[in-house]
Amino acid sequence: MRNRLFAVAALFESPDKIIKAADAVASQGFRKFDVNTPYPVHGMDKAMKLKPSKLGFVTLFFGLTGTAIGLILTYWTMSVDYPLVIGGKPFFALPAFIPILFELTVLLATLATVFGMFAFFFNLPHNDHPIHDTEYMKMTSYDKYGIYIESADEHFDESKIKRLFTDLGAVKIYDLAYPEKITYPIFEPKFVTFLIITFVAVSGATYLTLNKLLYITPFNWMMDQLREDVQDVSQYLPDQPSMRTPVQGTVARGFIPYPYKGINNPTEVLTNPILPTQENLNLGRKKYLSYCSPCHGNFGNGDSRLRGQFPNPPTLHSKRAREFSDGMIYHIITNGQNVMPSYESQVTREERWAIVNYIRVLQRAKNAQESDLEVAKKEFEKNAAQ
């Protein structure tokens, strides 16, 4: 008994002939046909009159979905569920979340493109396609160029199609039939018995390995180690804590601790070792804007951006603040004062001195003297003349 006809296929000898054949088939109104060649042939899309792929819309949709998920995730995490104030930035600091949005956009767009292309556009996995394991497919995978028209096409006429292929110069014509369907019943007693035995054997072996074998010498070395776990009770130290605090008075190698820690007013004068060069002033400005400006304002006026969260600090341009020594300002940054915490862990020693220099620049700019104005006027006239 002859299997149901799937398509009529033809082989051609050269790329020019397959291009001509594809153009002729498409021009006669056939839509359910395809071309098989051993390598990509330039101009085939135009000859087959293929429409642009809709795969790009799938990529765009899922890419935007990834962006939306990233926005919701970052907003909920950092603004609603666990809000944090970092360097005075707003809760929803979009520039910091750009890498997450980018990664989720690319991830979802890429996965959707791959799975969409294979699963929806190519109907894969499709292991029983009628052209598989046929002589036609073997020849088009080697050195021939083939085209086939499916019997499901509304213009399909077997005799007319064979005549068309012959007129186009086909070297061989094939009748491709649907393969016979082979069923594999899975609920046969032998197969069910095999599944049960496999399940019992794998489960038993896993249980014995994880619960018995790993606790038998010499495999128990991973469980019983000569160490104390974090926050565990010590079995041999009299005070029992296994996490030991440093011995009082010890310091890290190469590090001299700040001698006035916890003292409101240092008893000795600290001298600024950092010269107010342009490089150091730029460093001080950068660190001031990052760590100081959220409370003190960009120009030291005490106009906090965190209104309602922390009390506004006093202005840095008051007579008292201007009379502070460089060492006193450094001490306040290091030790903290009133509700202002210490910034010792956030800013290095050199950066603290650079911030002191930049504060002096802000104070000098807002409380300029006549001599400063004269210098500025001469500098302006000089630049205007140039």
Eight-class DSSP state of 337: B
Q: Are residues 286 and 379 in the same domain?
A: yes
Is residue 1 very low, low, confident or very high in pLDDT (cuts 50, 70, 90)? very low
Q: Are residues 62 and 158 in the same domain?
A: yes
Backbone angles phi, psi at 294, to 5 degrees: -55, -35
Q: How far apart are CA 124 and CA 204, in angstroms?
A: 37
Identify the burial level of 351 via C-beta atoms within 10 angstroms of its C-beta, where 0-12 means exposed, 13-18 middle and 19 or more buried: buried
Is residue 28 very low, low, confident or very high in pLDDT (cuts 50, 70, 90)? very high
For 207, the domain range is 185-245
Tell me the pLDDT tens digit for each residue of 80-118: 888 877 777 888 888 888 999 999 999 999 999 998 888
Q: Are residues 178 and 197 in the same domain?
A: no
Average pLDDT over residues 41-62: 91
Q: Are residues 24 and 149 in the same domain?
A: yes
Q: Is the pTM of this model over 0.85?
A: no
Q: Is 269 within a domain?
A: no
Q: Dig out the tokens for 351 from the structure.
A: 């950066």
CATH of the domain at 326: 1.10.760.10
pLDDT of residue 22: 95
Q: Is 268 within a domain?
A: no
Tell me the pLDDT tens digit for each residue of 352-369: 999 999 999 898 888 877
Is residue 308 very low, low, confident or very high in pLDDT (cuts 50, 70, 90)? low
Q: Are residues 152 and 189 in the same domain?
A: no
Q: How far apart are CA 107 and CA 59, in angstroms?
A: 10
Q: Is 332 within a domain?
A: yes
**Which residues are CB-contacts of 146 (< 8 A; sequence separation ≥ 6)?**
9, 10, 11, 12, 18, 35, 36, 37, 136, 137, 139, 140
Q: Are residues 152 and 205 in the same domain?
A: no
Q: Report DSSP letters for 226-291, one per residue.
A: SS--TTPBPSSSTT-BSSPPPPTT---TT-PPPTTTT-SS-SSPPP--S---HHHHHHHHHHIIII
Number of domains in the chain: 3
Backbone angles phi, psi at 220, to 5 degrees: -85, 5
Q: Are residues 327 and 352 in the same domain?
A: yes
Q: How far apart are CA 289 and CA 275, in angstroms?
A: 20
Average pLDDT over residues 179-197: 84
Q: Are residues 104 and 200 in the same domain?
A: no
Is residue 223 very low, low, confident or very high in pLDDT (cuts 50, 70, 90)? low
